[in-house]
Amino acid sequence: MSHFVQREVYDVLHDDRGMNGKTGKRDAYPTVEEHLPLMGIVCRNMAEGLRVVTRTPWRCSLLLFALYLVIALVATRPLVMSLGSGILYGCESEATVPLLNLWTLWWNADRAASGFGGYWTAPIFHPTQGTFAFSEAQPTMLIVAPLVWLTGNRVLAYNVYQLLILTLNGWAAERLFRRVGHRPWLACCGGAMCELLPFVWWQLGVVQLTTLFGIIWTVSALLGLFEETPTRSVSKDESEDANAGVSEGEVQQTSPLQSITHGSRYWRPSLLTLRGGVQELHLGLRLGGAFGLTYGMCNYWGLFLALILIPASVTLWNGRLRQVRFWRDILLAGVVAGVMILPIASIQRTLSKEHTWQRETSVIVSLSAHPRDLTDTPWPGLVPGLEHPEETRRDVWPLGGGGLKLLLAPIGLIAALATRGRRRWGLFVAAFGLIALGLSLGPSSRFADYLPWELAGQSPYEWLQRFVPGFALIRSPFRFVLFVQLAAVWLSVEALALLDPRRWWRAVSRVEPLAEARRVTAAAALSSGCCSRQTMVHGVCHVPLFVLSLIVTFEVVPPRQALHACRSPRDLPVWVMWLRDVAPSHESIACLPFPTGYSVTNYLDTTEWMYWSTFHRHPLVNGYSGFFPNTFLEIKGGLEEFDRTGIAEVNGIVQPQLKRYPATNPGLTKLNASGVQYVVVPRLFATRDEVWAHPATKFRWAWVTGDEAEQIDIYQVLPPLSE
């Protein structure tokens, strides 16, 4: 509080009115009128303090980061109460994929502590090599590796990583909206819309699919690449002369995109601008780094973003293409992105050829989007009339981002195209969304049948499968809808900007802007005991903008989240501690039974075994990932051959038992020959007597220990008697 304000407060508190001259005390409590000056001083001081806090960019960014963190904590309820003991699995039927990602986080932290030795040879699918590349490596999880090292709690580190992603989604989106010229309120609401994007929360159990901020940073860096920078510095007087005659709202709406559309000699400094010789290279570094980060967090999004941004960037072309600096930045961006991506992409390409990875067309078509899916939200929204899926699509994908956003998007596109300085942004967002929508339909959209050249008869999706490396391995085209929902949010904010009174006040009222009203704060009005008419009118005019923006922001709010409980590192089962403390860590183990199907429900037990392996550190013959090696599939296929007569299904899963396997079961034979040293057997699968009675295990499996609490036995696999 400044000295001047302190003096004002002192004068008000020591006012002699109402004082008793004899006692020195007040005869009556102060009236409301007597309180108004003090209230005005305090409110004015609070407003001044808020302006001081937000005046510095880093302070403003910190406050916004805290705001989006609060939104993430509220939306993930009750996670905040179980940060170290439970993980979210969103709309997944089981926590299979979250447990896989939890194991992935541990492996990244473990290899970082060991200097990344054997990084790609993860302890699953033993003895196959390079198994960590069978699914998303997600090296960006290393940011929370110190939590694993310090606490040993993998669950805590995983939840912090997920909350950080959700928070950065909103924060990065708000920065993008500010960059393209939106005012703080709309930018803040736009950030919340991106943080609460329905697709993200629908796929919350697949943590790599929730990483929006890398995509947003890449788009922001691309916009910066097409901004024409000045060749000389511009004085403050010249800048004011250039903006003379332009209303405040128009300036905000056209800067900095005006430099993309028309070119500009005025340069708006960036927080990421560096000093010295690196200053000239920061655009390429930012673009390459943002794209490389996107691919590192999620290989899906990296590949999808490249396929969308390259054609969509045509709408941003301007005079920068004739500058040598532009192509230097493009080359630098390619080098930086290549350095970040090549270590991952090269091993993936090598293994895809070695293991002949491929996707069946029927599976890809079944996982493609349908235009009708865009009106079906994962949860009821404020426009439920649009949420009635067709009978033939009832069990497919709720890919809608919200009915209001869907209605506002075309309005926002028209508004952007009609506003000088925002046309290229509107065209870019439209191209961004339409390209993503077309690709989300998968190979089922065959409008290419009417094209004359030799590729006719194949959809654009099939062209990409033929010519783009890695695209043929994409299994779920419907995930392109994330970019469609993102474009709808961007255009919805453009539509909401039409309600900003500062944008149309002159055109509607034909009066001078309320400059005086803008200068008079609410605190000053309270200090005078009344509010001016101009202030009231100015506030009322903002009500439609505030109300509608809040409605659109919270149109589709995710429901209370489901948690999968995870055991604490301080409460390990006996069998896990025995493997950790007694058995040599290099000896492999197999956990029975193997899955009898291919759904995530079938593999839930497998990912539970993988979670326990982060503590006992033994390589597993089991495993779960995006692809599976042939050695594992051969054992799994053999173990699916048993007598299923009279077996009841539990949650749609057939529970095998050792006594139902024939004596010459190929799965047991291959398991014994795989070199595995120990077998972990729940007693529901086989008791000690049943193991001794079965011909395939009688002289090969020797009981070593048991866990009575968990009803689990551990057997050592002995070599054949002939050896």
Which position has the higher pLDDT, 507 or 484? 484
Residue 236 has pLDDT above 50, yes or no: no
pLDDT band of residue 228 (cuts 50, 70, 90) is low
Cα 225 from Cα 272, distance rounded (Å): 13
Cα 718 from Cα 700, distance rounded (Å): 5
Which position has the higher pLDDT, 230 or 203? 203
Q: What's the token pair of residue 56? A: 């510095």
Residue 342 has pLDDT above 90, yes or no: yes
Cα 172 from Cα 186, distance rounded (Å): 14
Classified as helix, coil or strand, 400 is coil
Residue 229 has pLDDT above 70, yes or no: no
Alpha-carbon torsion, ordered 312, 282, 137, 148, to 10 deg: -140
pLDDT of residue 379: 83
Q: Which residue has the tokens 């969304």?
A: 433
Residues comprising the chain, all counted? 723
pLDDT of residue 38: 52
The residue-averaged pLDDT of 322-327 equals 90
The residue-averaged pLDDT of 394-423 equals 86
pLDDT band of residue 232 (cuts 50, 70, 90) is very low
pLDDT of residue 714: 96
Q: What's the token pair of residue 711? A: 């009803």
Residue 246 has pLDDT above 60, yes or no: no
Q: Which residue has the tokens 């005659």?
A: 245
Which position has the higher pLDDT, 368 or 506? 368
pLDDT of residue 20: 47
Report pLDDT digits (tens) over 691-709: 999 999 988 999 999 999 9
pLDDT band of residue 542 (cuts 50, 70, 90) is confident
Percentage of the chain lying above the pLDDT 70 cut:
75
Let me know: does 489 contact 405? Beta carbons within 8 Å. Answer: yes
pLDDT band of residue 361 (cuts 50, 70, 90) is confident
- Write phi, then psi, for 17 (nearest 5 degrees): -65, 135
Which position has the higher pLDDT, 515 or 431? 431
Domain ranges of the chain: 3-66, 76-497, 501-541, 570-717
pLDDT of residue 466: 85
Q: What's the token pair of residue 238? A: 């010249």
The residue-averaged pLDDT of 371-377 equals 84
Cα 456 from Cα 446, distance rounded (Å): 9
Question: Among 200-209, 242-251, 538-547, where is mean pLDDT lowest?
Answer: 242-251
* Exposure string for 632-670, b = 16+ CB within 10 A, e = fewer: beebbebbbbbeeeeeeeeeeeeebebeebeeebbbbeb
Cα 606 from Cα 610, distance rounded (Å): 6
Q: Are strands 86-88 and 563-565 parallel, antiparallel or unpaired?
A: antiparallel
Q: Are strands 678-682 and 653-654 parallel, antiparallel or unpaired?
A: unpaired
DSSP secondary structure letters along 320-374: GGGSHHHHHHHHHHHHHHHHHHHHHHHHHHHHHHHTT----HHHHHHTS--GGGG
Question: Among 20-34, 220-234, 266-280, where is mean pLDDT lowest?
Answer: 266-280
Residue 192 has pLDDT above 90, yes or no: yes
pLDDT of residue 399: 87
* Triad 292, 89, 298: Cα angle to 5°: 10
Cα 342 from Cα 398, distance rounded (Å): 35
Cα 411 from Cα 414, distance rounded (Å): 5
Q: pTM here?
A: 0.83
Which position has the higher pLDDT, 683 or 456? 683
pLDDT of residue 104: 96
Beta bridge partners of 679: 590, 715
Question: Among 87-91, 300-304, 449-453, where is mean pLDDT lowest?
Answer: 449-453
The residue-averaged pLDDT of 62-72 equals 93
* Exposure string for 327-353, b = 16+ CB within 10 A, e = fewer: eebbebbeebbeebbeebbebbeebbe
pLDDT band of residue 44 (cuts 50, 70, 90) is low
Sequence-ordered list of residues with C-beta below 8 angstroms from that of 512, at least 6 positions apart, any chain: none
pLDDT band of residue 367 (cuts 50, 70, 90) is confident
pLDDT of residue 327: 92
The residue-averaged pLDDT of 420-431 equals 92
Highest mean pLDDT (candidates 26-30, 269-273, 593-597): 593-597
Q: What's the token pair of residue 551? A: 């409605």
494 CB neighbour count, 10 Å cutoff: 28
Let me know: does 408 contact 417? Beta carbons within 8 Å. Answer: no
Let me know: does 677 contact 717? Beta carbons within 8 Å. Answer: yes
The residue-averaged pLDDT of 635-661 equals 84
